[in-house]
Chains A and B, each alone.
Chain A
Amino acid sequence: MREFGYERALDVPGALALLDADPDARFLGGGTNLVDLMKTGVERPGRLVDVRDLPLDGIGTAEDGGLRIGATVTNSDLAAHPEVRRRYPALTQAVLAGASGQLRNMATVGGNLLQRTRCGYFADVTKPCNKRVPGSGCPAIEGEHHNHAVLGASGHCVATHPSDLGVALTAFDAVVTYETPGGPGELPLTEFYLPVGDTPHLETALPPGALITGVTLPPAPVAAASRYRKVRERASYAFAIGSIAAALDVRDGVVHEVRLAFGAVASRPWRARAAEAALTGAPAGAAAFAAAADAELAAARPLPHNGYKVTLMRNLVVAVLSELTEEATR
């Protein structure tokens, strides 16, 4: 590991100024991803600006009745918060499905959204990767890709976004708020991540020098009946090979409102709007759930070794929506 500078910011303007002063500087949250990448040489910042002491660690009610979650709230605190558990249970489930207790105690909400892909080519500086070294190629397409993207990928990159938390936030229309030296701004999470295209190294729409200050969840009564299900190759401490955040409101046997987002299938948490549209107003049942999943997955472009993800996501849509339907009518 090469030497780097470290500074601790005490307020948001101070953090922005420290970052602005050094083009080689990066914000440091819990460090659960960035520090690993620094050890392996994937990331080589000249200076770290630690934002963990910023006064952004609260969870409160927003003006519209939704929830405002500070950027430095730890995953553990987020998952345990009574309002999150009561109003957005899939969010708690998603957080608790990720990493380990120790990592969740360190990891922050802002950092979680900015974590990098766990693609093994990206993580290995001895191999090409368009995301790490633009133009060097994507060896995953002809190499190992059994846990790579089936939706929204390009011929330049097939990496997935690893967040669990982000999948639940995407289902609930979360909005990312940020500060820049020029003033504040916000981005819906569904627009936060850029399409892969031929620029997989450009990952978010955040302006340069911006600091994520928090995430706002609008009120969503449907989220009170929600579920996050994560499928992985072992029972704990592994990234998803497919996950789903779902919320369902069934009235008189008909889908009144549904929210669906997929994880581990695309370069971003994937909001399944085609499936939602197909389901809204449809009779709640396995056939409609499967048809909705197919409507979403028609866009899937699997590689030779990850086609199972299409089957997996279809099965997850049916299984989780069926569970939610059954629980609502119980």
Chain B
Amino acid sequence: MTTATTGTRTTGHAVGTAHTRVEGRDKVTGAARYAGEIPFTELAFGWFALSTAARGRVRSVESDAVLEMPGVLAVLHHGNAPRVDIDYVGMLGMPPDPTAAVFQHDRVPHAGWPVALVVAATSEQAREAAEALVVHYEEEPHDVTFAAGSEHPDAYSIPGPGGPGVTGKGDLEAELAASAVVLDAEYSTPEEHHNPMEPHAATARWDGGRLEVVDSNQGTLWVADELAKMFSLDPAAVRVRSEHVGGGFGSKGLRAHQVAAVMAATVLSRPVRVVMTRRQMFSLAGYRSPTNQRVRLGADAEGRLRALEHSSLSVTSTVHEFIESGAGPARVMYDAPAHHTANRVVRLDVPTPTFMRAPGEAPGSFALESALDELAEKCGIDPIELRVRNEPALGPVSGLPFSSRNLPACFREGARRFGWADRDPRPGLRRDGRWLLGTGTAAASFFAGAMPSTAAATAESDGTFTVRINAADIGTGARTALTLVAADALQVPTDRVRVRIGDSDLGPAMIAGGSMGTRSWAWAVTAAAEELRERLALSDAVPPEGITVRSDTTAAVGALTQKERHSFGAQFAEVAVDVATGEVRVRRMLGVFAAGKIVNPLTARGQFTGGMIWGISMALHEEAVRDRNTGAHYGADLAGYHVATHADVPLVEADWVDDPDPDDPVGIKGIGEIGIVGAAAAVANAVWHATGVRHRSLPIRPDRVLEAGVRA
């Protein structure tokens, strides 16, 4: 068991020591207030009415009857809402998803599109009125069907979070023809949703000419910047706060609710809160696109890759481009003389997908790491040995050196702890009563980077320290990690440091995203704190207003040399399969990661195992179902969209090997996303080992197992 402390008295060793969350007591006692709970006087409540048409135009919004209902203050829709500007590039270098710019026109691009916001004195009145609101549509035929790649001739390639759309070197067909062993397989993953515990919630109000938004997001300045641009406001006239966040996973950037709340607060001149319901989140909060992927591998008799092709198709909406870069992992993991990757996207009448924990890597690693397992089987080589033999010296696409690549160490340590050496590779041999047992493994990687951030460190006159940085703690423990980092940099005990985050007035800093938050923030905090310590060494006393030092890491981060920078990991799973009922249950999982310096082992373990558990969910449960006729979701709630329950989560262990990043002041790489990468493939590979049947479509549902049976 991990020993946790709530305050260290010794100095300089906080980083690397388990520490309970500094706000943990507030959270478990309910003292911590989330965005939808903070009281405001004169608060009104907005409730979305969403389109039931999947494509077409709004012909009319019958507001009059609803305006007569108790408590109703306003009905905003495309005919009366304030106009906004969406012709800009946001902080993340992307144009805004016009889905967030609500009520600007009569077009309906997908089912669940916001067509109106009903504002009332209470949340219940707003909901009742929004559900009573009659909207007439001019419906057009819709297409929401995502099929195999060959059936989408209009699919096209664009760059995405995983880099360029297409990469290629070498003669693929020639290398495949010359290979002793060839694998050609198609894999699919379904539409998946973030479903953070806390729904999206925002309250907007005007305060002395300043727009103030209390929100639940992954970056206050990100949201403030978009709102300022959209509403043509001076950036200094917008303040966004986000003190506590109950999960984000990529879904909590600028969304329809913040924009609608600002519109309503502007029109009504009073504070307005808009909260999404769980069902509304399915069409308004973004999601992970389904993917259809094809992997072709060619290898010599010793398993060394001669050809690798990974192509991935995903969907986007008709109004915005987002690509799920499933072919991304192949650009990092394995090299071959012929190496080709392609990410393509097809437009359907569906909401725009977005970043979801390990975008690209999560579904892409399922296909690639399943394919490696299939290749190992065909070559008669142990799956770990196959991966070790194919460790690249340089980035397969970039040709750049790796900053560090400790994947073999992860496999070595994982294999030792999991008992891999005793494994009989033949499938379908082990039985425990009605259950067939199997084990599987897969590799994981995720980009390790840093983004410029600013921080301020203040020595208070009472001997304590205040660190201000516009970080976001979306449940990861970032606030605590930064407390440890600051304490070590200041060389004081952690209980003398308080960290203030989640307020756009604190200045520019990285968002909680891309597994880069803690590293980027810690860099800025370290820089400010170290300089403050030097200043204090030169001064006799701290004045009443304290001594404040500010940092900006823009130059330092910009000076990082071009390298392949990634975290790595090895995933192991043991599963039990009852082929008579189709049930698959994970019995144990182990993940060993090389993911930089681990700041807080307590919360880091939670991050890793949380990702791995999500991988179990992805492998066995998660799947959003779209009804072809209405174009809308079927069963869009947590009763219909299954995630793993406690009973599905057996012994899940995560650990790490020593892997400090040589180019980071604290040695951090970032751990937010890698836990899910490869996890589903490890489970699927274990299902093959148990049954002898390959499952290439997720989730591995009982009906799929039943219909596949066992190897003949």
**A: which residues have CB within 8 A of B?**
1-2, 40-41, 118, 120-121, 123-127, 139, 142-144, 146, 231-238, 241-242, 305-306, 308, 311-312, 315-316, 318-319
A contact residues around B131 at 8 Å (CB): 41, 125
Taking CB atoms, residues of chain B closer than 8 Å to A306 are 703
Whether B124 pairs with A143 at a CB distance below 8 angstroms is no
Q: Which interface residue of A124, A125, A235, A236 has the most chain B CB atoms within 10 A?
A: A235
Contact indicator A316/B581 (Cβ below 8 Å): yes
Kindly state whether residue B7 has any CB partner on chain A within 8 Å. no
Is there contact, CB below 8 Å, between A241 and B702? Answer: yes
Is residue B620 within 8 Å, beta carbon to beta carbon, of the partner chain? Answer: yes
**How far does the Cβ of B576 sit from chain A's closest Cβ, in whole Å?**
11
Contacts of A40 on B, CB cut-off 8 Å?
Answer: 279
Is B413 part of the contact surface with A, judged by Cβ < 8 Å? Answer: no
Of residues 576 to 616 in B, which have CB atoms within 8 Å of A's CB atoms? 580-583, 585
Q: Which of B127, B279, B646, B703 has the most CB of A within 10 A?
A: B703
**Pairs A–B under 8 Å by Cβ, sample size 9:** A2-B128, A144-B627, A233-B621, A234-B644, A236-B647, A237-B647, A308-B703, A308-B707, A315-B581
Main secondary structure of the interface of A (DSSP, over half): loop
Task: Please tell me if the beta carbons of A308 and B706 are within 8 angstroms of each other in the complex.
Answer: yes
Q: How far is the CA of A231 from the CA of B637 in the complex (A)?
A: 21
Q: Which of B677-712 contact A (CB under 8 A)?
A: 701-703, 706-707
B581 touches A236 (CB 8 A): no
Complex alpha-carbon distance, A305 and B706, angstroms = 13
A127 partner, pick from B582, B620, B621, B630, beta carbons under 8 A:
B630
Q: Given A143-B628, A236-B647, does the pair A231, B702 have CB atoms closer than 8 Å? A: yes
Kindly state whether residue B156 has any CB partner on chain A within 8 Å.
Answer: no
Instruction: Known A1-B128, A143-B629, A316-B581; judge A233-B706 contact (CB<8 A).
Output: no
A120 touches B634 (CB 8 A): yes
- B644 CB, min distance to chain A CBs, angstroms: 6
A142 to B127, CA, bound (A): 31
Interface size of B in residues (CB-CB distance below 8 Å): 37
Q: Are B640 and A120 in contact (CB under 8 A)?
A: yes
Q: How far is the CA of A231 from the CA of B629 in the complex (A)?
A: 29
B128 touches A234 (CB 8 A): no
A231 touches B582 (CB 8 A): yes
Tell me if B628 and A234 are in contact (CB < 8 A): no
Q: How far is the CA of A118 from the CA of B644 in the complex (A)?
A: 19
Instruction: Tell me whether B582 and A238 are in contact (CB under 8 A).
Output: no
The secondary structure that dominates the B interface is: loop
Among candidates B434, B621, B648, residue contacting A319 with C-beta atoms closer than 8 Å: B434
Which residues from A are CB-within-8-Å of B702? 231-233, 241, 308, 312
Q: List residues of B (641-668) whose CB comes within 8 Å of A's CBs.
A: 642, 644-648
**Cα A121 to Cα B628 with chains together (Å):** 13
Besides A123-B637, A143-B634, 7 more A-B contacts (Cβ < 8 Å) are: A231-B581, A231-B702, A233-B620, A233-B621, A234-B644, A242-B581, A315-B706
0/1 per residue, B384-396, Cβ < 8 Å to A? 0000000000000
Q: Which residue of A lies closest to B433 (CB)?
A: A323
What is the bound-complex CA distance between A123 and B627, given in angstroms?
14
Q: A139-B630, A143-B627, A231-B582 in contact; A236/B648 too (CB < 8 A)?
A: yes
Q: Which residues of B contact A236 (CB under 8 A)?
A: 645-648
CA distance A328 to B26 in the complex (A): 56
B632 within 8 A of A: yes
Contact of B16 with A by CB under 8 A: no
Residues in A with CB closer than 8 Å to B635 are 120, 123, 144
A235 touches B128 (CB 8 A): no
Query: B residues within 8 A CB of A121?
Result: 634
Does any Cβ of A come within 8 Å of B242's Cβ? no
When the two chains form their complex, are residues A234 and B627 in contact, meaning their CB atoms are under 8 A apart? no
Determine the chain B residues whose CB is within 8 A of the CB of A315 once the complex forms.
Answer: 580-581, 706
Of the candidates A1, A118, A142, A308, the one whose C-beta lies within 8 Å of that of B582 is: A308
Contact indicator A234/B629 (Cβ below 8 Å): no
Asked if B92 CB lies within 8 Å of chain A CBs, one says no
CA distance A316 to B131 in the complex (A): 43
B52 at the binding interface (Cβ < 8 Å): yes
| Chain A, residue nearest B635 (CB) | A120
A233 to B582, CA, bound (A): 9
Roughly how many angstroms separate A1 CA and B52 CA in the complex, as a whole number?
20
Chain A residue nearest to B637 in the complex (CB)? A123
Contact (Cβ within 8 A) A312 B701: no
- The answer to whether A235 touches B629 (Cβ under 8 A) is no
* From A126, A127, A142, A233, contact of B642 by CB (8 A): A233
A144 to B190, alpha carbons, bound, how many Å? 15
Query: Distance (Å) between the CB of A309 and the closest chain B CB?
Result: 8
Residue of B nearest to A314 (CB): B580
Closest Cβ neighbor of B124 among chain A residues: A1
For residue B397, give the distance in angstroms from its CB to the closest CB of chain A.
Answer: 38
Whole-angstrom CA separation of A235 from B625 in the bound complex: 20
Tell me whether B559 is interfacial, beta carbon within 8 Å.
no
Any A CB within 8 A of the CB of B639: yes
Q: Which of B581, B621, B629, B644 is within 8 Å of A139, CB to CB?
A: B629
Verify B639–A118 contact, CB threshold 8 A.
Answer: yes
CB distance from B48 to the nearest CB of A (A): 13
Across the A-B interface, the 5 shortest Cβ-Cβ residue pairs:
A236-B647, A120-B635, A235-B647, A308-B703, A315-B580
Q: Give residues of chain B (162-193) contacting chain A, Cβ–Cβ below 8 Å.
A: none
Evaluate contact between B627 and A139: CB separation under 8 angstroms: yes
Given known A-B contacts A143-B634, A312-B581, A315-B580, A234 and B625 have beta carbons under 8 A apart: no
A2 neighbours in B (Cβ, 8 Å): 128
Contact with A along B43-70 (1 / 0, CB 8 A): 0000000001000000000000000000
A142, A146, A231 pick with most chain B CB within 10 angstroms: A231
Given contacts A120-B634, A143-B629, A143-B634, contact A319 B644 (CB under 8 A): no
A127 near B701 (CB under 8 angstroms)? no
Q: Mark B550-564, 1 if CB is under 8 A from A, else 0.
A: 000000000000000
